[in-house]
Amino acid sequence: MQQALAQSDAQINEFTVAPQITPESGLPYHEWLIDFEKMPSDLEAFAQALDLAMRGQNTYYDDLIAGSVLRSLVITPLGHHCFSDYMRSLGRLGGQNKVQRLSNDRQMADALHSFNTLAK
């Protein structure tokens, strides 16, 4: 994330990553749900920079992309209160509670989609 941010004008507040194993079409992918303080001027270029950084740091991920087992990551911008609304819904809002950065399932991602004011 830091590499992609360094190459853009974006700023983020919070993010999490979840797998999308059974997309409606195409190959599975990792979905990055991001609350941008400042949206990148080019979201597609930001996604490509993030994906290239991930491929450079994780050869297994790179092999999965190169072998057409996964497609490149997908970014879903979220409204500014999605993460806090989600944490509040769990009764875990506060400084001692941290947002999970990486999930093995869609539970958190699907909940965040329901709170996303940008998609409504």
User: Which pLDDT score is estimated for 94?
Assistant: 80
Q: Tell me whether residue 100 is exposed, middle or buried, using C-beta atoms within 10 angstroms of its C-beta: 0 to 12, 13 to 18, 19 or more.
A: exposed
Per-domain boundaries in the chain:
2-119
pLDDT tens column, 5-44: 999 999 999 999 999 999 999 999 999 999 999 999 999 9
Query: DSSP secondary structure string, 28-41?
Result: -EEEEEEEEEE--S
pLDDT tens column, 89-104: 998 888 788 899 999 9
User: Which pLDDT score is estimated for 117?
Assistant: 77
Looking at the predicted structure, is the pLDDT value of residue 120 above 60?
no
